[in-house]
Amino acid sequence: MNFRHEFIEFAVEHQVLRFGAFKTKAGRLSPYFFNAGLFHDGASVARLSQFYAQAIQASGLSFDMLFGPAYKGIPLVTGIAIALAGAGCNLPFAYNRKEAKDHGEGGTLVGAPLVGRVLIVDDVISAGTSVRESVALIRAAGATPAGVAIALDRMERGQGTLSAVQEVAQNYQLPVIAVANLEHLLDFLRDHSELSAHQAAITSYRSQYGALS
């Protein structure tokens, strides 16, 4: 089993990836739901970070540091930096506050100075707001956004024909690295006969709402 399928199995075991009927922000009835916030203990976050590190290194992307947007990106960027260091790639990282600090060091940024090529890490890309804000912060510091790493790409179109991930890639000319995407999920379900009912539901959902590849 490759690491992408291992990640999906891991997410299912921790009920982070669930199957059923879930209403999305767009009002669609999705047959699956992914909530990375349910990785909320030391062991699961450590393993999640290792999956991110594997996907990032497999991408071959060149970058100098990591940035995690508040709030979900803060534990992610810390864990991923630790996992990369354990794999022999020790890099600085930073994150932001939602509210500027008016005492001490002040400002909204915490951690290493934003320099060079910066990889943004987050859980998912939905409306792209977090990426937009991160890109603005990185550029304002004189650094260069290098790409975005996320856990799961739903490959689902937004209001137009593109998915949220495709829109980010197009609007900012940034590569998006996903630990797994909808195709990996469907491949995983095909290999697990006990989940075949979910495979049919997700295939149907994709035919209705999937983005053009």
Q: Which residues are part of the catalytic machinery?
A: 101, 103
Q: Two tokens at 106?
A: 């002040």
C-alpha 130, offset from chain centre: 11
Helix (H) or strand (E) holding 9: helix 3-13
How far is Cα 102 from Cα 97, in angstroms, rounded to an integer?
Answer: 12
| Residue at token pair 């990032």 | 56
How far is Cα 196 from Cα 194, in angstroms, rounded to an integer?
Answer: 6
CA separation, residue 149 to residues 6, 16, 23, 111, 190 (Å): 18, 18, 25, 19, 26
How far is Cα 58 from Cα 192, in angstroms, rounded to an integer?
Answer: 25
